[in-house]
Amino acid sequence: MATLVSSSLLSANLSPPPSLSPSISLSSACSLSSSSSISLSHRSLSLSSRKPASYSAFTVKAVASEKKKVLIVNTNSGGHAVIGFYFAKELLGSGHEVTVFTVGDEGSDKMKKPPFTRFSEIVEGGGKIVWGEVDAIGTVLKGLSFDIVLDNNGKDLDTVKPVADWAKSTGVGQFLFISSAGIYKTTDQPPHVEGDTVKADAGHVGVEKYISEVFENWTSFRPQYMIGSGNNKDNEEWFFDRIVRGRPVPIPGSGLQLTNISHVRDLSSMLTKAVENPNAASGRILNCVGDRAVTLDGFAKLCAKAAGLPVEIVHYDPKSVGIDARKAFPYRSVHFYAEPRAAKDILGWTSTTNLPEDLKERYEEYVKIGRDKKDIKFDIDDKILESLKAPVAV
Amino acid sequence: MAAGGGGAAVQHNFKQYPSVSLLPSSQSTFRGTKLITSIQYKRKVCQPKGALNVVASGSKKILVMGGTRFIGIFLSRRLVEEGHQVTLFTRGKAPVTQPLPGESDEAYNAFKSKILHLKGDRKDYDFVRTSLKAEGFDVVYDINGREAEEVEPIIDALPNLEQYIYCSSAGVYLKSDLLPHREVDAVDPKSRHKGKLETEALLESKGVNYTSIRPVYIYGPLNYNPVEEWFFHRLKEGRPIPIPNSGLQVTQLGHVKDLAKAFITVLGNEKASKQVYNISGDRYVTFDGLARACAKAGGFPEPEIIHYNPKEFDFGNKKAFPFRDQHFFASVDKAKEELGIIPEYSLVEGLTDSYNLDFGRGTFRKAADFTTDDIILGKSLVLS
């Protein structure tokens, strides 16, 4: 990236080795010089993180004059909710100003689930939380202005347009959108790579198109599945629930299906990279996933290993059993595998997801909060297991 | 005329190194439908990002172990085009040179007149030592080495060797649920390819300037491993394609010409010193997807795919399917990022190239054998 800047700033764009904390911000170099003087096309020399550690880590807080004012419009439920939580904390740690606009009511039941139960951490870090509906965003945030807006809420134009239009009208310079890797058309030739054909009728596609027309500087992030403390929707918990109770883990299909399950800190670090390298990230679509895929069977085994327990996996055909696989299992039952090639290529981003290690931490928390003792119903599982016992018609 | 004479003598007629830039440009070198400009000019183009390529532009005296069967055929042509003096070390079982389908007479004769042959058995270590020592080579491309002990005499005979470029295999990686395989991943000391691993370790321990390339499945015209050929045989006969289990297993094919190009890129490249690189196609493919891609490449209709459980059959010692029944693919990011190596052929493009230049002309290495197919189909017929 910053090929022409002096060496001390040069090193700042490297991701430090995985064990270290958030990536160093290069905001000083990027915003001081005009973008045209530094070749930031994806073909410019990018210092790979595999270089020897002479660039070893020092975490630098952004210089006061480079502080950005970031607004995160955050969904109040679902798998993506946790993204805003990590991103807010990472930005605050780097010295930026953060406001989280949580969609809905402060008093709603939805706020009783993580990550919302931990939003005090954002406040303690110096961030602000407000609540409201996206249609009223202009009213709720009256008088306030931001440099950057992340929409981590809408799945279609209806829900994002109000935010985008308001952001444009108040002079927001950089618009980020959490889209979905689910919009890629299925393929015989994985992985999904940025630029591949997407499903034209997908809501997120409409949004990507709209923001690309409205904003000069926009980036769309296409995530998949996440694990991490504070998650709103069960992922690894689904597997732990069964493993810890000695129940078989029913997996639809062959279990060989590949998917991306990343630690949410990877998504947060990619978003942060975009904030700190706005010119490089501009106009880009980025697969927001770690750089390893795992098979469904493999993930079940990793969860069991993290728990130090055995696992029995049973495969089934959802159609034969007569159940909706989406209700029975937390992941898609086809290959759903993207690679973060653009982020690595263009932003010099690196993944730190380490499922074997990360799942250990997740399991520890799972037990700590007493979920292993919780009384859970396994109606759908039981239905599946029953049908597998029945003799197979020849 | 390339040395093809009997005995162990090496032709000495071509000691003068032709200067590098004189070769004519824009020869359509066996590309079939693709026209490529001379490699000379490509060298001067700025490499894509990441490649601080210190190009060794001087012509070198190169030894290729093997080189007359598949990879080496394409590699040696490129090396000769680049102006290097190239000697192929083989037993002479396959012809030292053969014209490639689609290659002009002019190009073939130019190649044939420059290539040198050193006839011998690489397992005759004394011969290897003495003959190599007598010649002295700057660079060795080891395309057919399997065991570490085969490499020792070569290294001993060439103390001033600039670079040892080794064709290893992604088969060395330990099977994993976390994919793709990356160069930093665990390898399997018990794998069928452990000889490759031991060779890499030997090169490392001897302090040789080596580069090791790990391809996945290689394909392209003249492939002697029945990869695409296996599908083409069935498609040609309008037979269903029997694929074990779900057909969702993900694998990866790399075109031989892209592999040859990669081998050229690492030559004299300081960044590649003592490094290992996965080299293969840019995308992976499911088994079912590969059947469909082969059909597209050969202009066949969409194939009928039959899935079967291999455990229900006894095929004797015959292989019912040419691929490992598991996911097997490797990331080529490292070569891309560090050396600017980007595969040129997409899967269907590459399979089309292979079809047009090989199977589609009526040539293949292994005759069609549908014995195992019939066993599978026979049983299916009985059940339905």
Residues B253 and B285 sit within 8 Å (Cβ to Cβ): yes
Chain A residues inside the 8 Å CB shell of B292 = 188
**Cβ contact, residue pair B248, A291, below 8 Å:** no
- Please state, in angstroms and rounded to a whole number, the distance separating the CA atoms of residues A130 and A376: 34
CA distances for B331 relative to A40, A134, A246, B214, angstroms: 25, 42, 36, 11
A189/chain B closest Cα distance in angstroms: 4
Residue type for A302, please? L
Residues B60 and B162 sit within 8 Å (Cβ to Cβ): yes
Residues with Cβ < 8 Å from B231, sequence gap 6 or more? Answer: B241, B290, B291, B294, B295, B303
- Please state, in angstroms and rounded to a whole number, the distance separating the CA atoms of residues B118 and B157: 15
Residues A30 and A279 sit within 8 Å (Cβ to Cβ): yes
Chain A residues inside the 8 Å CB shell of B331 = 291, 339
Torsion over CA of A56, A61, A64 and A67, rounded to 10 degrees?
Answer: 100
Chain A residues interacting with chain B (CB cutoff of 8 angstroms): 42-46, 48, 50, 187-191, 193, 253-254, 256-258, 291-295, 297-299, 301-302, 335, 339, 341, 344-345, 355, 394
Chain B residues inside the 8 Å CB shell of A45 = 49-50, 52
Residues B305 and B363 sit within 8 Å (Cβ to Cβ): no
Chain B residues inside the 8 Å CB shell of A46 = 49-50, 337
A254/chain B closest Cα distance in angstroms: 7
Chain B residues interacting with chain A (CB cutoff of 8 angstroms): 48-50, 52, 176-180, 245-246, 248-250, 283-286, 288-290, 292-293, 327, 331, 333-334, 337-338, 347, 383
**Cβ contact, residue pair A189, B347, below 8 Å:** yes
DSSP state of B55: -
- Please state, in angstroms and rounded to a whole number, the distance separating the CA atoms of residues B244 and B309: 6
pLDDT, position A20: 37
Q: Which ranges constitute the DSSP H helices of chain A?
A: 7-10, 27-32, 81-93, 120-124, 137-140, 157-169, 203-214, 236-244, 264-276, 278-281, 296-307, 318-321, 325-328, 341-347, 355-368, 379-389
What digits encode the pLDDT tens for the residues B8-32?
333 333 333 333 333 333 333 344 4
Is the N-terminal amide bond of B153 cis, ω within 30° of 0? no
**Cβ contact, residue pair B248, A42, below 8 Å:** no
Torsion over CA of B288, B292, B298 and B303, rounded to 10 degrees?
Answer: 90
CA atoms in the 13 A half-sphere facing the CB of B193:
19
* Option in B49, B285, B383 nearest A189 (CB): B285
For residue A151 the two structure tokens come to 């929409």
pLDDT, position A393: 53
Write out the DSSP string of B325-379. SS---B--HHHHHHH-------HHHHHHHHHHHTGGGT--SS----HHHHHHHHH
Q: What is the pLDDT along chain A (394 residues), one digit of tens a residue?
A: 333 333 333 333 334 444 434 433 333 333 333 333 333 334 433 334 444 444 444 455 544 448 999 999 999 999 999 999 999 999 999 999 999 999 999 999 999 999 999 999 999 999 999 999 999 999 999 999 999 999 999 999 999 999 999 999 999 999 999 999 999 999 999 999 999 999 999 999 999 999 999 999 999 999 999 999 999 999 999 999 999 999 999 999 999 999 999 999 999 999 999 999 999 999 999 999 999 999 999 999 999 999 999 999 999 999 999 999 999 999 999 999 999 999 999 999 999 999 999 999 999 999 999 999 999 999 999 999 999 986 655 5
Residues A183 and A196 sit within 8 Å (Cβ to Cβ): no
* Option in B177, B331, B383 nearest A294 (CB): B177
**Cβ contact, residue pair B327, A258, below 8 Å:** yes
Those residues of chain B that have pLDDT short of 70 are 1-57, 379-384
Count each helix (H run) and each strand (E run) in chain A, helices first: 16, 13
Helices A296-307 & A355-368, crossing angle to 10 degrees?
60
pLDDT, position B381: 59
What digits encode the pLDDT tens for the residues A139-154?
999 999 999 999 999 9
Pick from A78, A330, A121, A82: nearest CA to A230: A82
Return the residue of B nearest to A355 by Cα: B178
Count each helix (H run) and each strand (E run) in chain B, helices first: 12, 14
Return the residue of B nearest to A393 by Cα: B383
- Please state, in angstroms and rounded to a whole number, the distance separating the CA atoms of residues A191 and A340: 10
Phi, psi of B306 (to 5 degrees): -115, 125
Region of A78 on the Ramachandran plot (φ > 0 left; ψ -120 to 50 alpha; else beta): left
Residue A249 forms beta bridges with which residues? A313
Pick from B167, B169, B141, B183: nearest CA to B336: B183
Kindly state the percentage of chain B with pLDDT values over 90: 82
Return the residue of A nearest to B253 by Cα: A189
Model confidence pTM above 0.90: no
Distance from first CA to last CA of chain B, Å, rounded? 62
For residue A387 the two structure tokens come to 């049908």
Is the N-terminal amide bond of A318 cis, ω within 30° of 0? no
Chain B residues inside the 8 Å CB shell of A346 = none
- Please state, in angstroms and rounded to a whole number, the distance separating the CA atoms of residues A176 and A272: 11
DSSP state of A322: T
